[in-house]
Amino acid sequence: MALIDLSKKEVHCKVVYYGPGRCGKTTNLLYIYQAMDDSDRGKMLTIDTKGDRTLFFDLLPLNLGKISGLDIRIQLYTVPGQVMYEATRKLVLKGVDGLVYVADPLLVRRERNIEGLDDLRRNLDAHGLDMAKIPLVLQYNKRDLVDTPVPTLSIEELENDLNAELQTEYFEAVATTGIGVFETLKEITKKTVRYVAEKHLLTKV
Ligand X SMILES: Nc1nc2c(ncn2[C@@H]2O[C@H](COP(=O)(O)OP(=O)(O)OP(=O)(O)O)[C@@H](O)[C@H]2O)c(=O)[nH]1
Q: Which stretch binds ligand X (CB under 6 A): 76-84, 124-132, 151-159, 181-189?
A: 76-84
What gap in Å lies between CA 166 and CA 177, rounded to an integer? 28
Q: How far is the CB of 190 from Mg ion (least distance, A)?
A: 25
Q: How far is the CB of 203 from ligand X (least distance, A)?
A: 35
Q: Write the DSSP string, 112-161.
A: HHHHHHHHHHHHHHHTT--TTTS-EEEEE--GGGGGSSS-B--HHHHIII
Residue closer to Mg ion by CB (options 18, 170) is 18
Angle at 47 between CA 177 and CA 113, to 5 degrees: 55
Q: How many CB atoms lie within 10 A of CB 88?
A: 18
Q: Is 112 in the site for ligand X (CB under 6 A)?
A: no
Under 8 Å between Cβ of 11 and 73: yes
Residue closer to ligand X by CB (options 23, 196) is 23
> What is the per-residue burial (b if ≥16 Cβ within 10 Å, else e) of 22-49?
bbbbbbbbbbbbeeeeeeebeebebeee
Residue closer to ligand X by CB (options 26, 163) is 26
Q: How far is the CB of 47 from ligand X (least distance, A)?
A: 11
Under 8 Å between Cβ of 15 and 100: yes
Q: How far is the CB of 148 from ligand X (least distance, A)?
A: 8
Q: Is 176 in the site for ligand X (CB under 6 A)?
A: yes
Residue closer to ligand X by CB (options 137, 193) is 137
Under 8 Å between Cβ of 15 and 99: yes
User: What DSSP state is assigned to residue 107?
Assistant: G
Q: Is 144 in the site for ligand X (CB under 6 A)?
A: yes
Q: Which of 13, 14, 18, 27 binds ligand X (CB under 6 A)?
A: 27
Q: Residue 141 binds which one of ligand X, Mg ion, none, with CB within 5 to 8 A depending on kind?
A: ligand X
Residue closer to ligand X by CB (options 51, 128) is 51
Q: How far is the CB of 50 from ligand X (least distance, A)?
A: 9
What gap in Å lies between CA 128 and CA 122, rounded to an integer? 10
Residue closer to ligand X by CB (options 97, 172) is 172
Residues in touch with ligand X (CB under 6 A) = 19, 21-27, 52-54, 78, 80-82, 141-142, 144-145, 174-176
